[in-house]
Chains A and B, each alone.
Chain A
Amino acid sequence: MNNRKVILDRGSISSREIAERQNFDDLVKSLKAPPNPYWKSVWFWGTTGVASLGLFFLSKQLFSENETITQTVHEDNITLALDGLPEDTECIKAPIVAVDVPFEIFEINPAVDNLLTLESGSTITIKAGAIETISEGNVIIKTRVFQDKTSAFLAGIPMDFKNSAFESAGMIEVRGEQNGKPVTIKQDLPIEISLELYKNQEGFDFFALDDKTGTWSLYPCVYSASEENPDEHASNSAIMLKKQEVKKEIKAINATIAQKEVELNEIVIPKKETFYLPKNEKYIFTLDYDKRDFPELAALGRINFEAYPNQANYENIFMKTWSNFTIAEVNGKYQVTFSDKIAKEELSVRPIVTGFRLEEAMQEYNEAKGAAEADRLAIAHEREELIKRRGEKNIELQKYISDMEEQYNKTSLDYVELKQEQEQKERNKTQFISTLVRAATADFRTSRFGVFNSDKPVAYPKPFEKDVRFEIAGNNIVPKAVYIFDLGKDVRYQFGSKMNPMYSFGMNSNENVVMIILENNEVAYAHADKREVMQSGLIRLNVIPANKVTEEKIKSILNEERVSA
């Protein structure tokens, strides 16, 4: 705020002056020279080329027992995007720049208790004072929930765990910031997250992502049974059902509040100008204008004019007697030019009605204003009522969450006592609970922002014994990274990383989708069958032009259109 300056009535700058400052030639000169394709550079054929040859012969020797793994670079190869390898990039980076997954954004007052209900039905409870703020004022909480392979892929979430890929039952990313800078959570006041999962299978563990290294580690959480799986934890399920109902109600209330705010914003309180009513007596004057020139003014009957306020020359104009004046209409406003032999002054004015028309207009104005104000009051009242109701529902929801925690504490007390090491205890707790109940909601506490995921590691497929070629429109391509979406196991494998290099490329005997991100964000893909690929040694890919790459398109390829948040 200190570094902000409010300027009133700064002079305008003409379009001509701006146009004169255009200098496209200078701009072109300042441009960076476009880089040569890497394989055409001297470096490639120099140091790197020699090194590659060395590596080639080395690998030939090392893998002499198996078939030799080679990659041939052709002149007609399509250049591929070089990024996309986890070890080369930041941990989370959207593989297709233009199609990232947006965050759901909440602005909260960190000094009070907050309960955020996300679009997906998941909730985040933030206690008063839990956020370590940078300064006074509100905090932004950004979150996104990933409920399918498409969204996790488009967001660039790494899904490898040791030598496996993750099958996810639900994942959430939560970030906090104030004035554009990240904030942290106080260790003694963790935030509570209730993540709605989209699968009910057993055997899912819970993990948190290390933002710096891109690796996952086990994280404690409580899984609650879903309504589809009422089991021995019936009481917990009953609370769960009630909790879900309340969440739905809160979501509906939030939507109605937003709608009411739109309606309030759209109510236009009538202006006196619209009814040609005077606003400021001291700026009113008469002009004997020619009615034939302004029939629209003549239609108003007897009128006066009122100068718009804060025109610096107003006093000067009326202290002087002018020999001539003209009126001009510009964009619905009237401009009066007063002149004599020496000087010329301009004044912006508007017509105002007088006499009986003034009384009529005042009545019309009052009626219109009264109606608009009544509407506004009614909608504002409805909004207030909804806010009150939301508060009540939040208290109810909080109660259910406390009940669930209590339930959990009862079931896990003996177990917790058995363990001494905190890290081991938390890890085992996750495993214990995941086998005890069927997953539908993952409730956990955390003192850090980041990505949390309910997962099941699935082993990478065995590599093909022979090389597989990739082809687009008859041209060979040598991809740096290839994604395999196994639609049967519901996982994404990524080849081209340190852990799973291209020579380890393989796929399972399920329905597979092969995907490669090309330069300029084009996406090449193919549906692939393991047996056919083994026989032909070839995968022919189709290309989606960059402007057609959308989340919906990727979802339709991965057969995930049915899944929605």
Chain B
Amino acid sequence: MYHHTNEKLSTELEWIQLAKRDPERFAPLYEKYHEQIFRYIYQRMDDKELAFDVTSQVFLKAMNNLHKYEYRGVPFGSWLYRIAKSELYQAFRDRSSKRAINIETVHLATFMDVFEDEENEINKKRLLKAISELKEGDIQLIEMRFFEQRPYKEMGEILGITENNAKVKTFRALEKLKQLFNKNIR
């Protein structure tokens, strides 16, 4: 889980302090966050092997820069997510990999509910087209909220904005998606 009790947070802080002195003590943090970070990256990539490579890069970078990490009241994971985001875009630039948006049919149904429209093949295509036309910043919000089901608090921590700001921005992203969906009538 991304959010923790105070007790778990303080355990995590102890791990971080130990890892700052001895990189081998980073292991519990690696084990705890490896799957989350991999899934975050793979959600945005098409190439599984490359996603594993980028995940390794994220942890390597985290270990190399751990001395710079300072606890600021949010879980260590949010720091890792920020590194992951940066490494992901670096991978897109370096390796000509395409940015992927992975969607499941069940997510499309959610949008149809919100847009109060029928679930059918035509609307499905319209929605996929609208999603592909969204700007990167908006797609990130839609992805986190609707595809990854993240709470606004966590979104805020990953994006470095307040929870309320995450809500407002997500609302605006959803409005834009609706506009694009309605534009794509044919």
Binding site for B on A (CB under 8 A): 1, 3-10, 13, 15, 18-19, 21-24, 26-28, 30-32, 97-99, 102, 107, 137-138, 179-180, 258, 261-262, 264-266, 269, 271, 279-280, 308-310, 520-521, 546-547, 549
Contact = CB atoms under 8 A, between A and B. Distances in A.
B63 A27 contact: yes
25 contacts: A3-B99, A4-B100, A4-B132, A5-B46, A5-B101, A6-B100, A6-B132, A9-B105, A15-B35, A18-B35, A22-B34, A27-B30, A27-B59, A32-B64, A97-B70, A102-B160, A137-B135, A138-B135, A179-B136, A261-B172, A262-B167, A265-B168, A280-B119, A310-B105, A521-B68
Given A24-B27, A97-B68, A269-B113, A7 B119 contact: no
Contacts of B164: 258, 262
B109 interface: yes
B168 A13 contact: no
Residue picked from B69, B114, B133, B174, most chain A C-beta under 10 Å: B69
The list of the 10 closest CB pairs from A to B, nearest first, reads A98-B70, A265-B171, A310-B105, A5-B98, A261-B168, A261-B171, A18-B35, A5-B100, A4-B99, A547-B71
Contact of A31 (B27, B35, B64, B131): B64
Given A8-B104, A19-B35, A13 B42 contact: yes
B70 A7 contact: no
Nearest to B79: A98
A27 B131 contact: no
A13 B34 contact: no
Contacts of A265: 167-168, 170-171, 174
Residue among A27, A32, A102 with most chain B CB within 10 A: A27
A8 to B, nearest CB: 6
Given A4-B100, A27-B30, 17 more contacts: A5-B98, A5-B100, A5-B101, A7-B102, A19-B35, A26-B56, A27-B59, A28-B23, A30-B56, A31-B23, A32-B64, A180-B89, A261-B168, A262-B167, A265-B168, A265-B174, A521-B68
A8 B128 contact: yes
A549 B70 contact: yes
Contacts of A6: 100-101, 103, 128, 131-132
Nearest to A348: B106
Contact of B114 (A258, A269, A547): A269
B67 interface: yes
Given A8-B103, A262-B171, A13 B60 contact: no
Given A31-B63, A98-B68, A310-B105, A262 B52 contact: no
Interface in B124-167: 128, 131-133, 135-137, 160, 164, 167
A264 B103 contact: no
Given A18-B38, A280-B119, A1 B132 contact: yes
Contacts of A521: 68, 70
Contacts of A19: 34-35
Scoring A22, A31, A102, A280 by chain B CB atoms within 10 A of each residue's CB, the highest score goes to A22
Nearest to A369: B116
A5 B105 CA distance: 16
B48 interface: yes
B180 to A, nearest CB: 11
